[in-house]
Amino acid sequence: MKKIEEQLESIEEVLSLVIRKNASIENLIQTAADSQNKVLSEALIEIKRDLKQNPSSQYFESYFSEVKQAIANIPKTTEVRNHHHFDLRSKGFIMSAITLLITTAISIAVAFSSDRESRRLAGNDVKYRMIRQINPALVAWADSTYHNNPDSALAETKRREDFELVLKDAEANFNKKQEEAENARKLLKSLKKE
């Protein structure tokens, strides 16, 4: 879980670094455009001054108009667009993210299951310790029986539990039949009185 969190943190750091780099690139582009505009405007002023000193040159006038038009076509701000999309190159990233999500979900499920089992075992431990305090001989017998042959202890426990269930079912049926007989006796008495 910590490894996944560390990986996510490192991805976040890389993304923030990329964003900062992108912002610095935008600033550099803006600075370059501004400096280029400044250099061109200074060159234009210098050319104007030269033309005023030498007005007979037709070539410089056409050159001056071309430079003026080129300067007018230079945008004041440069727009940088970031287009984020998923393509075949980002397939690995998507698969990694899905794998991390599935792994996280499975880890959480295992953690909850382990916690529930741990609580159940802690409850059984308390019960066992209580029985040990009340009847140490019985606990000693259970421990020795289990350690001598765990499979046979399990089979014997299962057999006794099944017998107990059968006994409880028989007792419930007996009580039900006894209640039915009592109801039948009451019905018979009421019918004889009529």
143 CA to centre of own chain: 45
* CA–CA gap between residue 132 and residue 150 (Å, rounded): 20
Q: Would you state the structure tokens that stand for residue 91, as one six-digit string?
A: 């397939």
Low-confidence ranges of the chain (pLDDT < 50): none
Specify the pLDDT at position 91: 78
* CA–CA gap between residue 179 and residue 163 (Å, rounded): 24
Buried b (16+ CB within 10 A) or exposed e, 169-189: eeeeeeeeeeeeeeeeeeeee
Strand stretches in the chain, DSSP E = none
Specify the pLDDT at position 112: 95
Q: Read off the pTM.
A: 0.36
* CA–CA gap between residue 79 and residue 85 (Å, rounded): 19
Looking at the chain, the whole-number percentage of residues with pLDDT higher than 90 is 27
Q: Would you state the structure tokens that stand for residue 11, as one six-digit string?
A: 């991805």
Question: Cβ(131)–Cβ(138) under 8 Å?
Answer: yes
